[in-house]
Amino acid sequence: MESRFEREIAGAADCYLDLGGVKTVRLVVGDPEAWNMIRRELGWVMTSPVASPDATITLLKYDSPKDFFHDAMGLPFIHREDARFEVVCFCPGSGKGGVLFPTAQYNRDDQTAHLRDENSYYYVTKSYKPEDWINEGHVFVQMLFRILNSEPSTCLVHGACVGIDGHGILMCARGNMGKSTLAVTSMLNGMEYVSEDYLILSQDNPERELRASPIYSIITLSPKMYNSLYEKMDKARFVGISHFKGKYVFDMSAYSDRLRRDYPIRACVFPEINPSAEEPVVELINGSEKSRAITHIAHSTIFQMWSTGLIREQQDAKTILKIIGMVRDMPFYKITLTTDLEANSKILMEFVSSL
């Protein structure tokens, strides 16, 4: 008799995602409603099918992970309540208690499972309503992080990237420091654009040049910033509200002519908002100021992945050192932002044009 898992997989839609030219991931989606949402959000990175993708992510609707493990692998499901991320499958037959199945891991906070030997990832959820996917899409980002982090010269980071004529800048800052608003405003004013939130950094090229690529075609803005940019965002399509971030989510597919992939980075920029400043200022920084900027991008990336437990302590140091190694030789600049969004964007465009 065909299991529910087999029925779900047989009726699933799939696509392939190009992760910065470094990895290709097959995405399998078992729910039509979720597929429509995902197709819009990932349109910028979809690519042609490949025979052997580097990883597969499967999104399925189950009432509980226990049901999923039973249907998918025919194995009982166990986990310790005090453990956040651990081996969970149990194989009967080896003595009185059985043996643990070593390739399956389950994160009880976000309902994800990982079959390490097969490089397969499963996300099990009770609901695929659009509002649920908006709030839980962060889990998808974290799965991509794990896949990309296996490469020594590649990492998914929390940052922003815009540029002019192939000269890109990477904005390094924690959340709520103005990088998203600055990146989106500059893109709406004509700058080339990679991302305002998460992006792929890679030096996997013969020149070891730092390059950036996007992972999706959405942006998030606070209601206040959206109100300020309302007239400019004539082609943006409202997707929903992210209760995880308290921000509006927009589909920016209509701006695909400004999107760039594998985009060269010429400098790093550290934005800070100063409401009392009369004019924005860009200045070269070194020493402790540069160290602070590097700390921001490393800390922000780790914090985002820690928030649902997809990084563990032994991985933190390696990830931090990788990020530091990728950006430490770049020139760093501090941009002091004012409350005038257009003035901020103008000085950034002038700065990038001078690189």
pLDDT in tens, 165-184: 999 999 998 777 789 999 99
Secondary structure (3-state) at 351? helix
Q: What is the pLDDT of residues 218-251, one digit of tens each?
A: 898 989 999 999 999 999 998 888 766 678 889 8
Confidence of residue 205 (pLDDT cuts 50, 70, 90): confident
Q: What is the pLDDT of residues 38-71, one digit of tens each?
A: 887 888 889 999 999 998 888 887 777 677 777 7
More confident residue, 292 or 123: 292
pLDDT (average), residues 86-106 = 44
DSSP 190: T
Q: Which amino acid is residue 249, in one-letter code?
A: V
- Choose among 319, 2, 275, 298: nearest CA to 173: 298
Distance CA 228, CA 224 (A): 6
**What is residue 88's predicted lDDT score, i.e. its pLDDT?**
41
> Residue 106: is its pLDDT beyond 80?
no
Give ranges for CATH 3.40.50 in the chain.
154-353
Which residues 6+ apart lie within 8 Å of 219 measured at CB?
180, 184, 196, 197, 236, 249, 250, 252
Distance CA 105, CA 119 (A): 12
Q: What is the pLDDT of residues 264-286, one digit of tens each?
A: 999 999 999 998 888 999 999 99
pLDDT (average), residues 318-328 = 88
Confidence of residue 152 (pLDDT cuts 50, 70, 90): confident
Class of residue 197 by CB neighbours under 10 A (exposed 0-12, middle 13-18, buried 19+): buried
> CATH assignment of 154-353, given 3.40.50, 1.20.120, 3.40.190, 3.30.70?
3.40.50
Confidence of residue 351 (pLDDT cuts 50, 70, 90): very high
Q: Which residue has the tokens 């991509």?
A: 144
- DSSP per-residue string spanning 243-268: TTTTEEEEE-GGGGGGB-SSEEEEEE
More confident residue, 300 or 305: 300
23-37, 100-114, 331-345, range with the lowest pLDDT = 100-114
- Report the predicted TM-score, pTM, of the whole model to 2 decimal places: 0.85
How far is residue 147 CA from its own chain's centroid? 11
Q: 165: left (phi > 0), else alpha (psi -120 to 50), else beta? A: left
Secondary structure (3-state) at 114? strand
